[in-house]
């Protein structure tokens, strides 16, 4: 069994029933977060139980929101290696520098983590159609897990994304719409389809479950470092789900007694051509402003506005 107890708005703290389908908080329009029965977890969920488990993100199923094992979709995602970058250490003058090799996930990116859990939860709810705006990687991951679950998937991408992303989604059975605009424009079109056809929207932080998959990076890093956390985590940031997810994992692990209160310094890296979080952080703001004229060769970082900005900041 898992310890998933309820959903809570990350901004206004209102509580919601975990057994109903939600996207954003209906009161304030901000992201919802999955919460767990920490007292129960402290009594019966221990680190030693992980030793014999499969090396996928589902090894932490007690702290994930999918209630029944039969709905836990898997393509072998998670538990990617921490690689000691010795030559890079010498180059930058550090003693212990590790790279979390997320390219070894299914569909070759960390996006597989979030979409694995989000689509698994949609599968458990009996949802038949899912939709996403994406610059590439998230769309491929959603298409893969939706195909595994027998769902119809609808993808909205900027028309200038690399062709392999488009081909991947189509090969996995997704209906792809190319948009003359940015990811925010794709999001608007996806939202229209959600409203008109009742599709489940798995946009970044517009549902509570992708972040739960992403947080397993935090659990893994702690486990791989013998339940110690690094001093610094440097993280490329677009929508910010991974950054927020890891911090959430650290908070949960401290509460159940697996780690102490020490936290890494989290460094959010953005492109010069699209850096709304960096700008807001440097200005001491709670929310980020829409970035005008977003431009970067890193398609996944071309996010001019993030709905979870306050969680990142």
- The model's confidence at residue 296, banded by pLDDT at 50, 70 and 90, is confident
Query: Per residue in 130-189, pLDDT tens?
Result: 999 998 899 999 999 999 999 999 999 999 999 999 999 999 999 999 999 988 899 999
- The model's confidence at residue 223, banded by pLDDT at 50, 70 and 90, is very high
What is 111-201's CATH number?
Answer: 3.40.50.1100
Q: Element (H or E) spanning 25, and its range? A: none
pLDDT of residue 136: 86
pLDDT of residue 309: 85
* Average pLDDT estimate for 39-65: 96
- On whether the CB atoms of residues 130 and 202 are closer than 8 A, the answer is yes
pTM: 0.94
d(CA 142, CA 250): 26
d(CA 253, CA 237): 23
Tokens of residue 129, six digits: 């159609």
pLDDT of residue 270: 92
Q: Of the candidates 313, 233, 237, which has an alpha carbon nearest to the alpha carbon of residue 274?
A: 237
For CA atoms 164, 169, 173, 178, the dihedral sign is negative
- The model's confidence at residue 293, banded by pLDDT at 50, 70 and 90, is confident
What are the residue boundaries of the structural domains of the chain, listed by start?
Answer: 111-201
């Amino acid at each position: 069994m898992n310890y998933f107890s309820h959903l809570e708005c990350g901004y206004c703290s209102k509580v919601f029933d975990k057994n109903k389908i939600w996207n954003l908080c209906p009161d304030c329009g901000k992201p919802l977060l999955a919460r767990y029965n920490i007292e129960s977890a402290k009594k019966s969920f221990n680190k030693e139980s992980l030793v014999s488990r499969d090396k996928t993100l589902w090894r932490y199923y007690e702290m994930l929101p999918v209630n029944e094992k039969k709905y836990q979709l898997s393509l072998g995602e998670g538990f990617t290696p921490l690689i000691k970058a010795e030559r890079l250490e010498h180059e930058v003058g550090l003693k212990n520098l590790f790279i979390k090799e997320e390219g070894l996930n299914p569909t070759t990116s960390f996006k597989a983590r979030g979409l694995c859990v989000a689509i698994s939860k949609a599968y458990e709810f009996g949802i038949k159609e899912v939709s996403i705006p994406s610059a590439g990687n998230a769309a491929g991951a959603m298409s893969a897990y939706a195909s595994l679950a027998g769902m119809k998937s609808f993808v909205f991408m900027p028309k200038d994304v690399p062709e392999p992303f488009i081909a991947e989604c189509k090969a996995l059975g997704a209906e792809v719409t190319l948009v003359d605009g940015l990811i925010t424009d794709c999001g608007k079109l996806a939202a229209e389809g959600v409203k008109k056809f009742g599709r489940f929207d798995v946009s970044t932080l517009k549902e509570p479950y992708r972040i739960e998959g992403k947080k397993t990076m935090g659990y893994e890093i702690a486990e791989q470092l013998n339940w110690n956390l690094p001093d610094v985590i440097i993280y490329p940031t677009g929508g910010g789900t991974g950054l927020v997810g890891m911090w959430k994992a650290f908070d949960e692990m401290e509460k159940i007694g697996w780690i102490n209160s020490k936290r890494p310094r989290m460094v959010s890296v953005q492109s010069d051509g699209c850096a709304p979080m960096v700008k807001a952080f440097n200005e001491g703001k709670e929310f980020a402003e829409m970035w005008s004229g977003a431009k970067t060769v890193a398609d996944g970082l071309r996010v001019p506005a993030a709905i979870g900005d306050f969680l990142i900041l």
